[in-house]
Structure 1
Amino acid sequence: MQLNPAEISELIKSRIQGLSSDADIRNQGTVVSVTDGIVRVHGLSDVMQGEMLEFPATAAGVATFGLALNLERDSVGAVILGEYEHISEGDTVKCTGRILEVPVGPELIGRVVNALGQPIDGKGPINAKMTDVIEKVAPGVIARKSVDQPMQTGLKSIDSMVPVGRGQRELIIGDRQTGKTAVAIDAIINQKGQNMTCVYVAIGQKASSIKNVVRALEQSGAMAYTIVVAASASESAAMQYVSAYSGCTMGEYFRDRGEDALIVYDDLSKQAVAYRQVSLLLRRPPGREAYPGDVFYLHSRLLERAARVNADYVEHFTKGAVKGKTGSLTALPIIETQAGDVSAFVPTNVISITDGQIFLETSLFNAGIRPAINAGISVSRVGSSAQTKVIKGQSGGIRTD
C-alpha cells in the first residue's frame, strides 16, 4: 500500500478548517459536606439564587439535581431534590444556568406526579410539550380583574354563607380529623362539567391517604380534569417545600390562557414545617416558633399567584391567540391548627394573606354536623359579589338565623 502525500495533506487541511474553536465553559464546584439532604458546595462563583445544580447520577443512572438556596461568600448551600445517599465529599457539582422547571400543559391532566412533575402512577411517561419555572412573579394590580363569578363547591353551607369566587383564595382551617380534605375534595368533584381544571397538591401526607384521595377522584370521574401533585411524608423536606410551587405553575398554565383552574394545597402547615427544617439545616437564624424570618413570604408569594386576570393580560400572554377571555386560578389552601389555636404563627400569617377562611370545629364534627363549619368566625371577603342572585336571595338570613 502506497501513501499519497497530497491526499494526506488535503485531509489534514480539511480537518484543521473544520475544527471548532468554541469552548464549552461550565461553572463547577466541589462538595464540601452532605447532611440530611443539605449540601455545601465550594467554588460555584456565578450561581444564581434558585438555580438547578447538577450532581453525580445515582448508580441506576438517574440524574440528581439540587436547588441553590444559600449564596455565601465562599460556599453555596443547596438542597438535594431526591436521593442524596450516593453523594459524597469531593464530588463535582455543575451549574446548569436554569431555574427549576416543571412540565406544564394538558398532558398532565389525569396523572399523579411528584414535585418535579415526574409521573409516579405507573402509567408511562408524560410527553409534555412545555416546561415552566416554579417561581414566578404574581400578576400585578393592572392585570387583575375583580372576582365576580361563582365557584360552586357543592356544599350548601359554604355556597350560601361563605361563598367562593373564581380567582379567590379561601382558607380551610381546623384541627386534625375535622374534614378539611373532604371539603376540598368535594369542591374538586363538584367542578365536573364546569370547564374547570383542578390541581390537588398533597404535602407531607401519608402515601395511603394520597392513594385514597386519588381513588375517590377516580371513582367520581374527577381525574378526567385533575392533576395530583404528591410529596408524601416519606419524601425529603426539599420536595415537600417545592411541591406547592410546582402545582401552582401547573395551574397557572390554564389561567394564563383564559381558562379557569382550581388548586388545593393540602396542607401549607406541613410545607412551613418542611421549609423550617431546610432553613435550620442551612443555618439560617430562627425566629418565632423556630420558623425562619421569611416564612410569611413563603406563603404570600405562593397565594398571590392565585388571581383572576383580565382579557388584556391573557391576550398579551398568548400573543393575540386568545382574545376576550379572562382566566382565573382559585386557591383553597388548608391549614391544620393545634387544639383550635388560630393565633399561632402560620395560621395568622395565612389568614392575613387569604380572602377569607372556612373554620372547621372538632366539637361540631363530633356532634355529627358535617361539614363542621363554625359560621361565626368563617368569612368570605369577596365571595358575596360572586354569588348568583338566586343563591344570594335564598341565603340572605341564614347566618343570622
Structure 2
Amino acid sequence: MIDDHSTIPVIGAAFDNINRAWTADPDIFIRETGKVISVGEGIARVEGLPNVVTDELVKFANGSLGLAYNLDPDEVGVILLGEENLIEAGDEVFRTERVLGVPVGDALLGRVVDALGRPLDEKGTLRAVSYYPVERPAPPIMNRVSVSVPLQTGIVTIDALLPIGRGQRELILGDRQTGKTAIAVDSIVNQKDTDVICIYCAIGKQRAEINRLVSDLQKQEAMEHTIVMSASSSIPVGLQYTAPYAATSMGEYFMEQGRDVLIIYDDLTWHARAYRELALLLRRPPGREAYPGDIFYIHARLLERCTRLREEYGGGSMTALPIIETQAQDMSAFIPTNLISITDGQIYLSPTLFRKDVLPAIDVGKSVSRVGGAAQLPAYRMVTDELRLDYAQFEELEAFSRFSSRLDEDTRRQIERGKRIREILKQDQFDTMPVIQQVALLVAVTQGVFDDMELPEVKKAARKIRMNIAARLDEVADKITRGEPLNSIDRRNMEESVKTLLEDLSQNSEQEEGV
C-alpha cells in the first residue's frame, strides 16, 4: 500500500503517459503486458502480468481501468472499473505500477462525483489539491484522541438521548422506507452554519433518487459544504465496491488539515452485496449467506479510518454514519451484527413507529450511543436522565395498558406525560432545531408544562415556543453554545419563560376567538 500522495497519478488524462520505464533511447519504453482470457459480469481474467501486485491498477488496450484482485498462479482476477462491453478476450492489458487514487481538496465541495473522482454535475473540471490512494491505513491508536466534542444533528431524539460526537461511528439501521436516509440528510443540513464538511456516498441507489437528494440539499442551501459521491446501481459493480473507500480518502484530506468531517455511507448493505458478487465471480470461497470470509474486514478497515486525531497530527475528525437495511426487523442478521460490533452505537428505526406516524421512527429502547454524555453539551444533562426514565416507563405502561382498562391515577398521569414527550420528539424532515429550542422544549415537557394541554395543541404550542424562546433567553443560549453547564436558576428561568409564552399565546387565542 502506497501512502505517498505525490506518487498517485491523475486519473484520466495523465494515463496516456504513466508507467513508462524509459531506456537510453527516448523512443523506446518497457512495460509488462498480459492478455485477457475472458470478461463478463464486472470482472476479467488475465494471463501474464507475473509481477502485478494486489490492488494495483491495470490498463486495458481501450483505455479502461481495472483493479488486480485475485493473484492466482495461472491468471489474475481483475475487477473492472469501466464498461465491460468495450473489452474483449485477447485484448492487451498492462501494468501501471500505481494504486487507485482519487482527487482531494476544497474544489470538490458542492460537486457530484463518481467513485474515481470524475465530475457528474456538468460544472466543469476539477482542480484537485492532491490525489490520495483509495486504500489507506487507519490512523494508529496513539494518533487518536477520545471523542468529546458533540456533533449536533438538529434531531431532538438523537441529540438528547443518543448523542453523537465528532469522530464517532454511529450506525443507522432499519427496514426499507423507514426514514434512514432522511436522518442522514437532516444531519447534513444541520451543519450548514458550522465548520463541518459533509460527504454523502450513495451506493447502489437509483440515479433518480440521488438526483432528488442533491436537489433537496440545494434547496436547503447545504450543498456548498457537501460532496456527493454517486455510485448508482447502473454503474459497474467494481465502482460500487470502491466508492466508500474513495469517499473516505476525500474526507481524510480535510481531517488531516484539522477540519471536521461528517461522512454518510448509504448504504453498506449494497456494498456488502457488491463485494459478495465480485467474490463469487472471482471464485473466492463463500461462507455464511454466500459472503466471503473477509466480509467483516472490508467494513472494519473502512470504518476504522473514521476517528478524531490529536492536535499534533492535525486535530481534525471524521464522523461516520453508515446505513444498513434490515429484513423484517431482524437486527441479528449477518451484516447488521457485523456493523453493530464495529461501530460505537446504533440508531434503530422501527417500521411499527413509522406506521404510527411517529417520525423520526427511532426506537429509543433498541438504540444506543456508546460515547454517551461524553460527547454531549452539558445543558442536556439536566433533562436527559429524567426524560429517558419517563419515556422508558411510558413505553412499558402504554404496552401494558392495552391489556387492562383499569389504571390508577399515577399510571394514567405517566402515560399522558409520555404521550406529550413523544409529541415533542416528533420532527418533520428538514425541520432541524437549534440547541436552545431543544433544551427549552425538553425542560418544559419534563416539568409538566404541557400536562394540562390537549394533545393536538402540544405541537402548535411547541412551534410557538421555538419561534420566540431564543429572543427571551439570549444569555442562556450563548451559555449553552459555549458548552457551559446550566444551573438551577437557568433551568427555572427557562421554565418560567416557557410558561409565560404559553400564557401569552393562550390570551392571544382567546382574544382572536372573541373577535
Distance in 2 (alpha carbons) for counterparts of 1:114 and 1:78: 20
The alignment partner of 1:392 has SS state of helix
Alignment of 1:31-110 (within 5 A): 31-57=36-62, 63-110=63-110
Alignment of 1:210-289 (within 5 A): 210-289=210-289
Q: CA deviation at 1:228?
A: 0.2
In 2, are the aligned partners of 1:147 and 1:383 still within 8 Å (CA)? no
Q: What amino acid maps onto 2:186 in structure 1?
A: D
Q: What amino acid maps onto 2:339 in structure 1?
A: V
Distance in 2 (alpha carbons) for counterparts of 1:87 and 1:256: 39
Which residue is 2:334 aligned to? Answer: 345
In 2, are the aligned partners of 1:134 and 1:245 still within 8 Å (CA)? yes
Q: CA deviation at 1:74?
A: 1.6
Q: CA deviation at 1:56?
A: 2.0
Alignment of 1:2-401 (within 5 A): 20-21=24-25, 24-57=29-62, 63-314=63-314, 326-401=315-390
Q: What amino acid maps onto 1:76 in structure 2?
A: V
User: 1:134-179: CA deviations, max 9, x gaps?
Assistant: 1011011100000000000000000011000000000000000000
User: What's the TM-score once normalised by structure 1's chain length?
Assistant: 0.90
The alignment partner of 2:388 has SS state of coil
In 2, are the aligned partners of 1:39 and 1:78 still within 8 Å (CA)? yes
Q: CA deviation at 1:280?
A: 0.4
Distance in 2 (alpha carbons) for counterparts of 1:241 and 1:399: 39
Q: CA deviation at 1:262?
A: 0.4
Distance in 1 (alpha carbons) for counterparts of 2:169 and 2:67: 28
Distance in 1 (alpha carbons) for counterparts of 2:319 and 2:383: 25
Distance in 2 (alpha carbons) for counterparts of 1:102 and 1:328: 20
Q: CA deviation at 1:21?
A: 3.9
Which residue is 1:4 aligned to? Answer: none
Percent of residue pairs identical? 52
Which residue is 2:447 aligned to? Answer: none
Q: CA deviation at 1:125?
A: 1.1
Equivalenced residue count is 367
User: 1:178-219: CA deviations, max 9, x gaps?
Assistant: 000000000000001210000000000111110111001000
Q: What amino acid maps onto 1:393 in structure 2?
A: M
User: 1:4-56: CA deviations, max 9, x gaps?
Assistant: xxxxxxxxxxxxxxx93465221111101112121001111111100111012
The alignment partner of 1:131 has SS state of strand
The alignment partner of 2:59 has SS state of strand
User: What's the TM-score once normalised by structure 2's chain length?
Assistant: 0.70
Distance in 2 (alpha carbons) for counterparts of 1:361 and 1:345: 19
Distance in 2 (alpha carbons) for counterparts of 1:67 and 1:134: 12
User: 1:342-393: CA deviations, max 9, x gaps?
Assistant: 1111000000000000000000011011110111110000142010110122
In 1, are the aligned partners of 2:245 and 2:302 still within 8 Å (CA)? yes
In 2, are the aligned partners of 1:150 and 1:383 still within 8 Å (CA)? no
The alignment partner of 2:366 has SS state of coil
The alignment partner of 1:396 has SS state of helix
Q: CA deviation at 1:65?
A: 0.3
In 2, are the aligned partners of 1:171 and 1:357 still within 8 Å (CA)? yes
Cα RMSD, aligned residues only: 1.1
Distance in 2 (alpha carbons) for counterparts of 1:27 and 1:393: 67
Distance in 1 (alpha carbons) for counterparts of 2:374 and 2:205: 34
The alignment partner of 1:127 has SS state of coil
In 1, are the aligned partners of 2:31 and 2:94 still within 8 Å (CA)? yes
Please tell me whether Structure 1 or Structure 2 has the larger radius of gyration of its CA atoms.
2
Distance in 2 (alpha carbons) for counterparts of 1:383 and 1:228: 29
Q: Which has the higher contact order (CA 8 A, sep 6+)?
A: 1
Q: CA deviation at 1:265?
A: 0.2
More strand by share: 1
User: 1:266-303: CA deviations, max 9, x gaps?
Assistant: 00000000000000000101100000000000100000
The alignment partner of 1:376 has SS state of helix
The alignment partner of 1:85 has SS state of helix
The alignment partner of 2:142 has SS state of coil
In 2, are the aligned partners of 1:254 and 1:261 still within 8 Å (CA)? yes
Distance in 1 (alpha carbons) for counterparts of 2:24 and 2:66: 32
More off after superposition, 23-32 vs 286-295: 23-32
In 1, are the aligned partners of 2:200 and 2:226 still within 8 Å (CA)? yes
> Structure 1: which 5+ runs fail to align?
1-18, 58-62, 315-325
Distance in 2 (alpha carbons) for counterparts of 1:194 and 1:393: 25
User: 1:97-142: CA deviations, max 9, x gaps?
Assistant: 0000011111100000011110111111112131110101101110
Q: CA deviation at 1:236?
A: 1.6
Q: CA deviation at 1:396?
A: 2.1
User: 1:230-252: CA deviations, max 9, x gaps?
Assistant: 01111121111111101111111
In 1, are the aligned partners of 2:171 and 2:345 still within 8 Å (CA)? yes
In 1, are the aligned partners of 2:40 and 2:84 still within 8 Å (CA)? no
Distance in 1 (alpha carbons) for counterparts of 2:84 and 2:173: 35
Distance in 1 (alpha carbons) for counterparts of 2:42 and 2:166: 39
Q: What amino acid maps onto 2:101 in structure 1?
A: E
Q: CA deviation at 1:84?
A: 1.3
Q: What amino acid maps onto 1:338 in structure 2?
A: Q
